[in-house]
Structure 1
Amino acid sequence: MKPNPVIAESDLPTGPRGHVNTLPTLQVATEDGEVVDGVWAAGDNAQIPDLAKGEGAWCAPSAQHAVRQARLLGANMAASSRAVPSESTSTRTWARSRRSA
């Protein structure tokens, strides 16, 4: 799935396919891993590492991933506002967020 054309017009860091580059925490980051403070991304426009598959793998732009990412995104944004460390995307995190929903 192609990202929204607005992404290309922004100054957000993007990956090789034009999606917003993110860390497993859903924080937007440069290719060097430098976090763009206060900027988060999830869903079809985000390039999110798939930790279950390993280095260089990305989460597919699917509704299933987007729903899970939304829960994690909300939790991490709230944690960030309280200066609590963010969680990463992983199978364990998805399972934990699903049980608490």
Structure 2
Amino acid sequence: MLALEALERGSPTAAYNLGSGRGYSVLEVIKAAEKVTGQKVPYRVGSRRTGDPAVLVASAEKAIEELGWRPRYTELEDIIATAWQWHRRKPRGFKG
């Protein structure tokens, strides 16, 4: 909504990342998801794919500075918990 409001005020079109500025490994995310959901997440470890970056971290600084956006949740487990709650309430996604 903040981006749409900025466009209505005449700001130019822009792209924004909404990352936390902190990187997590895939395994850290899996372990956090298991903790939050109480379910095992099946996975297998493989080698990095050609072209995959060693580290990739998104920052929301641009959205914070230009739009005044602030994240509601900043901790990985809280982010996963809110997503898990939504998916449990809406198992068919936006369709119901």
Range class of TM-score, shorter chain: under 0.3
Which of the pair has more CA radius of gyration? 2
Query: TM-score scaled by structure 2?
Result: 0.24
Query: TM-score scaled by structure 1?
Result: 0.23
The structure whose RCO (Cα within 8 Å, separation 6+) is larger is 2
Bigger fraction of residues in strand: 1
